Amino acid sequence: MVATELVDSTVQHVRKYHKIADFSLWNQNGKNVTQDDYHNKIYVADFFFTTCQTICPIMTDHMKLIQNRLKKDSEVKLLSHTVIPETDDVPQLKEYAKRKGVDDTRWNLVTGDKKQIYDLARKSYLVAKSYGDGGPYDMIHTENFVLVDKKKRIRGFYDGTDLEEIERLLEDIEVLKEENVK
């Protein structure tokens, strides 16, 4: 169950098979990344910003842990969206990716149109805690990691700052992979 405050009013009526909307963003290498890059993949998504000094560094370290644990698994990818695209441009994301040990073949750090990113957070991934002080194009993001299946459906939420939750996420990825085999 997702807390009502995390769900945009335009999608609160959706009860089953909620899907992630199509998107077009730019990754740390300046490559256009779309939903097609995640076609037939299980992926973990989150929201962060490179200058964050609180939860983001922990979340990024935990995403790297997931990356390292699944480095030989071609079925699973990672996707991190910046919440301050006006600062986190492609060069900034590239520098951050290098510093944090991001494997470019498996993990995209994306930037782009602020409205599109915020709409994805609110209406697709359901991780926008509230509007920030700047109105509808300002946002307080959560610490949630979102597990998305091969059909673009949300299958779970996990506290990206909690190692026990990361272990649960990794277990659930294995369950999803088994589900896809059947």
Taking the model in full, what pTM does it have?
Answer: 0.86
Domains of the chain: 4-177 (3.40.30.10)
Distance CA 5, CA 89 (A): 29
Q: Please list the pLDDT of the chain residue by residue as tens digits (182 residues).
A: 444 444 444 434 444 678 999 999 999 999 999 999 999 999 999 999 999 888 889 999 999 999 999 999 999 999 999 999 999 999 999 999 999 999 999 999 999 999 899 889 888 998 765 554 444 444 556 789 999 999 999 999 999 999 999 999 999 999 999 886 65
Distance CA 17, CA 78 (A): 21
Task: Answer whether 166's CB lies under 8 Å from 66's CB.
Answer: yes
Position 141 scores a pLDDT of: 64
Distance CA 143, CA 157 (A): 10
Position 4 scores a pLDDT of: 43
Run of H or E including 132: strand 128-132
Q: Could you tell me the CA-to-CA distances from 152 to 16, 20, 38, 125 in Å, in that order?
A: 13, 5, 9, 10
Position 40 scores a pLDDT of: 94
Q: What share of the chain is helix, strand, coil (3-state, %, to 5)?
A: 35, 25, 35
Position 132 scores a pLDDT of: 47
**What angle do the packed helices 55-69 and 163-181 form, to 10 degrees?**
40
Distance CA 145, CA 43 (A): 10
Residues with Cβ within 8 Å of residue 88, at least 6 apart in sequence:
49, 50, 82, 96, 109, 111
DSSP state of 134: T
Position 92 scores a pLDDT of: 97
